[in-house]
Amino acid sequence: MSNQPNLTIERSSVELTKDDFVSDQMVKWCPGCGAHAILSAVANVFPKLGYRKENLMMVSGIGCSSRFPYYVNTYGIHGIHGRAAAISSGVKIANPHLSVWMATGDGDSMAIGGNHFIHIIRRNIDINIMLFNNQIYGLTKGQYSPTTPMGSVTKTSPQGTIEHPFNPGELVLGAQGTFFARVVDNNPKMMTEVMFEAAKHDGTSIIEILQNCIIFADKTHDSVTNKDNREERQIVLRNGEPMIFGKQKDKGIRLSGSRLEVVTLGENGITEDDLLVHDMYEQDPGIHLMLAKMAYPHFPIAIGVIRSANYPTYDDMVVEQINYAKENSKIKTVDDLLNSGDTWEIK
Amino acid sequence: MVKIKSNVIQRDAVVVKFVGDSGDGMQLTGTLFSDTAALAGLDLATFPDYPAEIRAPHNTIAGVSGFQVHVGAKKIETTGDLCDVLVAMNPASLKSNLKWAKPGATIIVDMDTFDEPAIKKAGYQTSPLEDGSLETFNLVKAPITSLTRASLKPLGIDTKTIDKSKNMFALGIMYHIFGWSFDATYDFFDKKFQSKPQVIQANKIVLEAGYSFADAVEALDSVYQVSKAALKPGRYRNITGNVATAWGFLAAAERSGRPLFLGSYPITPATEILIELAKYKSLGAKVFQAEDEIAGICSAIGASYTGSLALTTTSGPGLSLKSEAIGLAVMTELPLVIVNVQRGGPSTGLPTKTEQSDLYQALFGRNGECPAVVIAASSSANCFNYAYIASKIAMEHMTPVILLTDGYLGNGSQLFRIPKVADMPDINPPIAEANDPDYKPYRRDPETLARKWALPGTEGLRHRIGGLEKEDVFGNVSTDPLNHEKMTHLRNEKVQRIANYIPEQEITGEKEGDVLVVSWGGTFGAVEEAVELLQKEGKKVSHTHFHYIMPLPKNTSEVLKGFKKILVCELNSGQFVNYLKMTQYGHVYTQYNKVQGLPFTVTELVTAINKTLEEK
């Protein structure tokens, strides 16, 4: 099965629907949890990918996010804390004909699984990673995480945290990530769109989902996700389009020297031509990094696909090396190997 | 060329040890010596003894590297206690290895290296070549460095390059002592230095110079004659335990039709298995050098889920890091082989030394009640068989298997009779069929209790598994108290039933007697040899050696009960004896232990067994 030379994932001969991916398990996230919206987006995306339903595989670690595989009817492994990236790597390398999706959280991937997270990215293994970032440890009931804003009061930081949080985008690009996108759990349309882009990208795709934990970190992303002012505080990046945002579409991002700057169209003679045009396929991660780092209140946060650069994937290269070795090595069977080198007959 | 010497010493086995500074090429010298011995029809076992540092300071004790070879006309089970011939290339290597020389052994030293600074650096007050401290030995003071330089002078190459070939001078001396031909070594030079004809020429000249020197020296006026070993007919090669382990897995992958996946992280002394498997992409082996030990095993679990023969290889500290993931493999009931090439512990311990102190960890070192199969290879060559068997058990019974070897087996080498892969036992994993209407993730085979292996991509078998407790049959997450108890019982029972599929425990010697000597793992050779010696003296002692530890063979209690006393010998403080006490009651146990990072010597075992025989 895994010896097929064709690396494309087998297509479904029939049209699939949401129902093809509904599992028989009760969804046990808290009512109002942002994870429900993510599950719903996945249910929309999976049938439309065109893959055979048997070729989809979900992997997760530990945490609220990591219950995900039980709620989608695919092949799936609910792993151990922090190790989803390592398990997924094994799955994809062993069987490159699977479309592998990973559900993980800010604790699972940024703290206990930080090492695996940076290395899967560095290797560029073709896996789609949904990073549920709710800035808190939910399943253990409310301790701060590596993405909790500094100063936040949580159960383990009664006087406020004194740790500098990770910005996942910075970490991804620092690890030579080829795909990074950011979405918000209250924008299902955008989430669906970005998941398709991640599936299309050949390599490790990270989708950071700003997710609300209604119990332990309610409204943690509210300053940027609140429907009343999100148009002022988010910029939706679209490839090939100038970077414009704001309710009146009157603001934009331009490069000023070596820094980004927010400008108002029409003020001081600024026109659309002065603005940066988004190029998610650019190999150089410089601008992508600046976009990923944009933060409220000085900037709108970047939403959408920030980077989608084309690099060889680990899983493809494994297959190439094996095919090359099979064609060129004299050792075709284990018997060949056992009898290779210095051997002698004893009568 | 061969001059008939006056004394020919007939021996059925000889132990030779080459020692020198890390850069002196002792490993290569030992390997070439063993290859020639093998071609001369002798049985053999080898063991390299090298420092943890890559290049410790020149001429220090810390920098001594050695290679011991035991050759014989009889079956060679160990690398030998003490050596008959010691070749020491500098003072430090003589100082640290003299204790391994037999009384009266031949000691060949490179006298040119015994200058004042080197003697002092080795910790000698006076030169051992001059102060009479070696007078009970047959000391051969050979000017190896100067004669090597003199013999290569006509070639006009630099001294540094010349000095690199002094080990060949020592090898030439040895070939004279044994009366062996240069053919195999010449072949090696021709292949290895194909593009450097001058290097080939230089090595050949020095090898011959060593030979001629030995021919002319009076102290070497006797040669060993070791007749051919009575080996079972067949095709042979020399193999180290780590290479044999790697090849056993490749054979298991081929026979089972399951692609091989190794997830591993380099660690002494297990790294060679990773290096070896990385070479055989032509056999479809997928080798993933992970970012750490945990990713090594977790990637293997992912690969196992997709239907690979999944492996992870490590040594003690790495096994600690893998503990939680072994639990995941136990809970998900996925096949997985974990190799632990044991070294001295705890913590970083003695990375390059051998020990059997990870048995408790293999048996019990996990959270929850977490049974895994534990088996142990007993010789460098049979690492091949046990890697194969470990794979077979893992896949047919859907369970993680911990295969214990050790530094002594892994780095040591032995003759290996080459099998045909087609003659190895069948491997039939319980792979679920597409659209099987009865498929449930945790429905079990009534005999083995193994669940089915449902591979992603197969129609009609989509399912989810994970580390949370599983509902019997259906595999959904369950916190039901009685279900948890039932599943705990089933997981244990599944492993216990493997006893129905493994060979019965055997005894060397009578089935009844005064003392039954018990061993497991890499100590087989030394224990077997010690018991055989005592049996020849008419003592009522027998030997039983365990390869299968969890579960134990079904007839274990039967085997133990025929003896007044049971002496369990192991390279730890008594882990297997305590395990036997837990599981096999009603026997009188006594124990002999060594925790020095070194293998057993036959001599010390003979003493220990005699003591047990004498004690009332």
In chain A, where the domains are located: 18-220+312-338
Q: Name the token pair of B491.
A: 């997981």
Whether ipTM > 0.90 holds is: yes
Say yes or no: B257 and B164 in one domain. no
| Chain B contact present for A26, CB below 8 A | no
- For chain A, which ranges sit under pLDDT 50? 1-7
Cβ separation A76–B464 shorter than 8 A: yes
Q: How many angstroms separate the CA of residue B436 from the nearest CA in chain A?
A: 14
d(CA B197, CA B190): 8
Residue A48, CA distances (Å) to A45, A180, B451, B590 in order = 5, 22, 33, 69
| Chain B contact present for A65, CB below 8 A | no
**Strand intervals (E) in B387-537:** 400-406, 413-417, 464-466, 513-520
Q: How many angstroms separate the CA of residue B595 from the nearest CA in chain A?
A: 35
For Cα atoms B83, B84, B89, give the angle at the middle one, nearest 5 degrees.
75
Q: Name the token pair of A342.
A: 């210095």
| Chain B contact present for A338, CB below 8 A | yes
Mutual orientation of helices A35-48 and A188-200 as an angle, nearest 10°?
A: 50
* Helix, strand, coil share of chain B (percent; to 5): 40, 25, 35
Q: What percent of chain B has pLDDT over 70?
A: 99
Which of A55, A77, A335 is nearest residue B305 as measured by Cβ atoms? Answer: A77
pLDDT range class, residue B90, cuts 50, 70, 90:
very high
Q: B139 near B109, Cβ under 8 Å?
A: yes
Say yes or no: B287 and B243 in one domain. yes
Say yes or no: B135 and B59 in one domain. yes
Which of A70, A334, A341 is nearest residue B250 as measured by Cβ atoms? Answer: A334
Asked if the structure places residue B372 within a domain, the reply is yes
Cβ separation A98–B288 shorter than 8 A: no
Which of B302, B324, B462 is nearest residue A91 as measured by Cβ atoms? Answer: B302
Q: How many angstroms separate the CA of residue B420 from the nearest CA in chain A?
A: 6
End-to-end CA distance of chain A, in Å? Answer: 42
- With CA atoms as reference, the chain B residue closest to A342 would be B237
* Helix, strand, coil share of chain A (percent; to 5): 35, 20, 45
Asked if the structure places residue B232 within a domain, the reply is no
Asked if the structure places residue B431 within a domain, the reply is no
Q: How many angstroms separate the CA of residue A257 from the nearest CA in chain B?
A: 39
CATH number for position B97: 3.40.920.10
- With CA atoms as reference, the chain A residue closest to B254 would be A334
DSSP string, A181-248: EEEETT-HHHHHHHHHHHHHSSS-EEEEEE--BTTTBTTTTHHHH-TTTHHHHEEEE-TTSB-EESTT
Say yes or no: B116 and B167 in one domain. yes
d(CA B90, CA B295): 44
Cβ separation B458–A69 shorter than 8 A: no
Q: Name the token pair of A289.
A: 């990094």
* B378: nearest Cα among B599, B590, B575, B598: B599
**Predicted local distance difference test score (pLDDT) of residue B55:** 72
**Predicted local distance difference test score (pLDDT) of residue B218:** 76
Task: State which residues form the domain around B606.
Answer: 513-614
Say yes or no: B12 and B124 in one domain. yes
| Chain B contact present for A7, CB below 8 A | no
How many other β-carbons are positioned within 10 Å of the β-carbon of residue B340?
Answer: 25
**Predicted local distance difference test score (pLDDT) of residue B56:** 79
Q: B282 near B231, Cβ under 8 Å?
A: no
**Predicted local distance difference test score (pLDDT) of residue B6:** 60
Asked if the structure places residue B386 within a domain, the reply is yes
d(CA B560, CA B513): 10
Strand order from edge to edge, sheet including A251-256: A244-245, A251-256, A259-264
How many other β-carbons are positioned within 10 Å of the β-carbon of residue B191?
Answer: 11
d(CA A227, CA B298): 41
* A140: nearest Cα among A114, A164, A107, A112: A107
Q: At which of B170, B195, B225 does a domain end?
A: B225
- Is residue B159 predicted with pLDDT exceeding 80? yes
Asked if the structure places residue B230 within a domain, the reply is no
d(CA A60, CA A106): 13
The CATH classification number of A18-220+312-338 equals 3.40.50.970
For residues B432-438, give the mean pLDDT: 97
Say yes or no: B549 and B573 in one domain. yes
The secondary element (H helix, E strand) that includes residue B21 is strand B13-21
**pLDDT digits 0-9 by tens, B180-229:** 999 989 999 999 999 999 999 999 999 999 999 999 887 777 788 898 88
Which of A78, A326, A343 is nearest residue B282 as measured by Cβ atoms? Answer: A326
Asked if the structure places residue B231 within a domain, the reply is no
DSSP string, A97-163: TSEEEEEEEHHIIIIITHHHHHHHHHHT-SEEEEEEE-SSBTTTTSB--TTSPTT--BTTBTT---S
**Predicted local distance difference test score (pLDDT) of residue B229:** 87
Q: B398 near B431, Cβ under 8 Å?
A: no
* A275: nearest Cα among A235, A248, A305: A235
What contacts 24+ positions apart, CB below 8 Å, involve B49-57? B50/B22, B50/B352, B51/B22, B51/B352, B52/B268, B52/B351, B52/B352, B53/B22, B54/B22, B55/B22, B55/B23, B56/B22
Residue A343, CA distances (Å) to B41, B74, B184, B415, B418 in order = 12, 20, 11, 10, 9
Residue A157, CA distances (Å) to A112, A136, A137, A220, B25 in order = 19, 12, 12, 16, 59
Chain A hits for B301, Cβ within 8 Å: 77, 79, 87, 90
Contacts of B485 (CB under 8 A, 6+ apart): none
**Predicted local distance difference test score (pLDDT) of residue A2:** 34
Cβ separation A346–B234 shorter than 8 A: yes
- Is residue B404 predicted with pLDDT exceeding 90? yes
Residue B564, CA distances (Å) to B279, B516, B552, B586 in order = 51, 8, 21, 11
Chain A hits for B305, Cβ within 8 Å: 75, 77, 91
How many other β-carbons are positioned within 10 Å of the β-carbon of residue B127?
Answer: 15
Strands B413-417 and B400-406, sheet pairing: unpaired
| Chain B contact present for A254, CB below 8 A | no
| Chain B contact present for A83, CB below 8 A | yes
The total number of structural domains in chain B stands at 3
Q: B138 near B105, Cβ under 8 Å?
A: yes
Say yes or no: B121 and B255 in one domain. no
Contacts of B253 (CB under 8 A, 6+ apart): B259, B260, B283, B284, B285, B309, B391
For residues B404-413, give the mean pLDDT: 96
Q: A1 near B434, Cβ under 8 Å?
A: no
Asked if the structure places residue B549 within a domain, the reply is yes
Q: How many angstroms separate the CA of residue B57 from the nearest CA in chain A?
A: 35
What is chain A's Cα-based Rg? 23
**Predicted local distance difference test score (pLDDT) of residue B2:** 47
Looking at this protein, which amino acid is placed at residue B542? S
- Which 8-state DSSP code applies to residue B523? G
Chain B hits for A116, Cβ within 8 Å: 291, 294-295, 298
Cβ separation A93–B286 shorter than 8 A: yes
For residues B149-173, give the mean pLDDT: 93
Say yes or no: B201 and B271 in one domain. no
**pLDDT digits 0-9 by tens, B110-124:** 999 999 999 999 999
Say yes or no: B185 and B313 in one domain. no
Contacts of A257 (CB under 8 A, 6+ apart): none
pTM, entire model: 0.95
How many other β-carbons are positioned within 10 Å of the β-carbon of residue A196?
Answer: 13
The secondary element (H helix, E strand) that includes residue A308 is strand A301-308
- With CA atoms as reference, the chain B residue closest to A341 would be B237
| Residue B551: cis peptide before it, omega within 30 degrees of 0 | yes
Q: How many angstroms separate the CA of residue A140 from the nearest CA in chain B?
A: 16
Q: B490 near B444, Cβ under 8 Å?
A: yes
Q: B376 near B520, Cβ under 8 Å?
A: yes
Say yes or no: B214 and B352 in one domain. no
- With CA atoms as reference, the chain B residue closest to A121 would be B291
Q: Which residue, chain included where needed, has tokens 């080996």?
A: B231
Say yes or no: B104 and B244 in one domain. no
- With CA atoms as reference, the chain A residue closest to B281 would be A322
- Is residue B62 predicted with pLDDT exceeding 60? yes
Say yes or no: B209 and B335 in one domain. no
**Predicted local distance difference test score (pLDDT) of residue B49:** 83
- With CA atoms as reference, the chain A residue closest to B470 would be A78
Residue B324, CA distances (Å) to B291, B298, B316, B365, B367 in order = 17, 10, 14, 9, 7
Asked if the structure places residue B485 within a domain, the reply is no
CATH number for position B266: 3.40.50.970
Q: How many angstroms separate the CA of residue B184 from the nearest CA in chain A?
A: 9
Q: At which of B381, B407, B423 does a domain end?
A: B423
**Predicted local distance difference test score (pLDDT) of residue B5:** 53
**Predicted local distance difference test score (pLDDT) of residue B133:** 94
